[in-house]
Structure 1
Amino acid sequence: MAIQQKDRIYLDGELFELFSTPLDAFFEAHQEIPSFRGKMPECRRGYMASWRIRNNVLYLTGFQQVSPTVVINPRDVLSRPKMVADWYNGTLRIPIDTADSNAKGSNDPQEAELHIYVKRGVVYTHEIVQKKHVPSNNSKKNNVL
């Protein structure tokens, strides 16, 4: 399976990858926008989006289709250059490097995720969630839950 291209999000002037796909909820609510077909292996959902949080509000700031067989006008998705994502309710999952994981000499620099909880496009809380490691019965490596 090919590594998937991820959405991007700007937080405090830094660019991060985003494990979540908030734009999926937008497409579910807007059935008039054609679905993507012929998706590329590295981006099965057929698009990439960019996001920004400013003043505790989630904005969709960019959209790029990756599907070679469907042409979507970005204006069908973005009604203005920076659009409040007021359709989105959920958790934004952002992999982060922590000073603690780097100090331990871990092979996995993303041992933590920043979870940002959003309701109708407004951030209401956030937390850092540590990944849990458990020993595998079949190998000497650890599995991530």
Structure 2
Amino acid sequence: MTAQFAEQLHYQGRDVAMHTPPLSDYFAMGGFSPSFDLSCTALWRGYIGRWEIVDSRLYLLELHGTLRDGTETSVATLFPDFPDRVFAHWYSGTIHIPRGKRLDYVHMGYDSTFEQDLFLDVERGVVKNTRARHNGTAESGSALGDALFPHGNRGNEGAT
């Protein structure tokens, strides 16, 4: 599997990459799951979500993808009663936010290693705990590159 495009998360006033796709839990629970166009090997799920955390609650703000019939998707495609944003009450798990420079590139999923990882433990859409892990420091002047991010948003460099 190719390294994957990250979901985007607005967290603590910043846009960051999120190496967790909370919608996969919604689909696994039997939520409406449209047939996404899987034309890009770096986007096997077929969409990119834009999320935010407000008052410790996780919300889906935007959904970008194309269905197999060519129709563009949005939050309203999945949640017609909540077209502008929807509370992610279905999601319980850990949100992974990579931070800093990439130390090791792995051409698979979200397996690359970054200087730091931030983990948000979420229960039914509410952040209950935050943990950080330090993985090392990139060499000074090293051009290790960044993870793959859509919309020109690198999401990792300089995050604190």
TM-score range, shorter chain: 0.7 to 0.9
Does residue 86 of the first structure (1) align with residue 78 of the second (2)? Answer: no
Distance 1:59 1:129 in 2: 25
Contact 2:120–2:129 (8 Å) recurs in 1: yes
- Higher RCO (C-alpha under 8 Å, 6+ residues apart): 2
**1:77 match:** 78
Distance 1:6 1:60 in 2: 14
Distance 1:83 1:13 in 2: 19
**2:26 match:** 26
Distance 2:59 2:38 in 1: 28
Q: Which runs of 5+ in 1 are unaligned?
A: 133-145
The count of residues paired between Structure 1 and Structure 2 equals 126
Contact 1:40–1:67 (8 Å) recurs in 2: no
Distance 1:129 1:67 in 2: 37
Give 1:37 deviation, angstroms.
4.4
Distance 1:114 1:120 in 2: 19
**1:114 match:** 118
Taking a change above 3 Å as real, the CA distance of residues 73 and 129 of structure 1, as seen in their structure-2 partners, is: same
Taking a change above 3 Å as real, the CA distance of residues 22 and 85 of structure 1, as seen in their structure-2 partners, is: same
Q: Which has the larger radius of gyration?
A: 1
Taking a change above 3 Å as real, the CA distance of residues 111 and 66 of structure 1, as seen in their structure-2 partners, is: farther
TM-score (norm 1): 0.73
Distance 2:117 2:23 in 1: 20
Residue type matched to 2:39 in 1? Answer: K
TM-score (norm 2): 0.67
Distance 2:71 2:15 in 1: 27
Q: CA RMSD in A?
A: 2.7
Taking a change above 3 Å as real, the CA distance of residues 92 and 60 of structure 1, as seen in their structure-2 partners, is: same
1:76 match: secondary structure: helix
**1:55 match:** 55
2:28 match: secondary structure: helix
Give 1:13 deviation, angstroms.
1.4
Contact 2:10–2:52 (8 Å) recurs in 1: yes
Runs of 4+ with deviation above 4 angstroms: 66-70, 106-109
Residue type matched to 1:55 in 2? Answer: D
Q: Which runs of 5+ in 2 are unaligned?
A: 105-112, 137-160
Residue type matched to 1:16 in 2? Answer: V
**1:17 match:** 17
